[in-house]
Structure 1
């Protein structure tokens, strides 16, 4: 039953639906995708990992834009199957994943994952370990209006599971995340807030509410 399966075939379908709304109607998903692609620019022979890829939307955009060797990774086998149907190489994350890909990737994308992990500092150290020296890390985190603010598709998912929980264990401001990135071996290079306006405006209109923050970093 759905309520017994926090990561099942139903969740990726809901997320694809919500992404369609954010991208085609509300627009901030479009600006988020464009910012990720912009920050992930590098040599065409680069090895790229989308860690926490879900159904592979960011991996697909980056692959189409630059022709990289792109791989997705996620804990949900159903999401990995969806990635493969899109032509994206993908793996289910296992216990030895970080060791398997030590110093392997030129670019790592991590979108809306950090707020879910138990230990953000340890997680970022492990991500850094998979990057080559000087590699690029593109991280996306939500910028919630209130603590625990979640989306309609997630609410529907909780209702069907008969289990309600806040999926976000942490909340980060820009300054807090910059500090954490510096502490764990990354140098932030650029950033953009994503909302209903084009990204070139959002750095200057900082009082506007934003859905997400996209940061480009390099490994120290």
Structure 2
């Protein structure tokens, strides 16, 4: 199986990036902006590689005085679409900006006409904050955790187990915070004589689900 890799884009990648395929219904601007993107000190452009082939691209910019991360020009070869390639690329890019404390939001550019024709795209690219803190959950967090939203298709047991979770000596429950708001929760239990770690009750507010928070649990 060919190796998958992500690296910074270079000028020599131009032809390969352009060869990924047509996007934006004939209004693709990247051909005329590619080099200027790379020259912009606020830009970091990345290519997704499978073996030696460039099959994906994304350009990210710091805007709003470093407050927002803007994604532009993203694309994946048609034969690789539907395999989570672009999601992996976006996740990698976010990781590269985690150390920049000023970044609070992720935004994207989309054509207003397309938004009206495909209203679901508003939810695919929400303006969201991936900057968060994690701390141990307390009893006083109960209402906030319950307010995260319904899970398990109406069979959510956490309302009746929350306090007993916190009282369990083998449990560590955590809340994910953005500012003062609880936007995620996860309960972890040591089981099998501390051989295994069991996660239960995990949930994230709908507007933050693309941040992949539950894969960032403390150890």
- TM-score by length of structure 2 reads 0.26
Q: Which has the higher strand share?
A: 2
Structure having greater relative contact order (Cα 8 Å, sep ≥ 6): 1
Radius of gyration: which is bigger? Answer: 2
- TM-score by length of structure 1 reads 0.26
Q: Which has the higher helix share?
A: 1
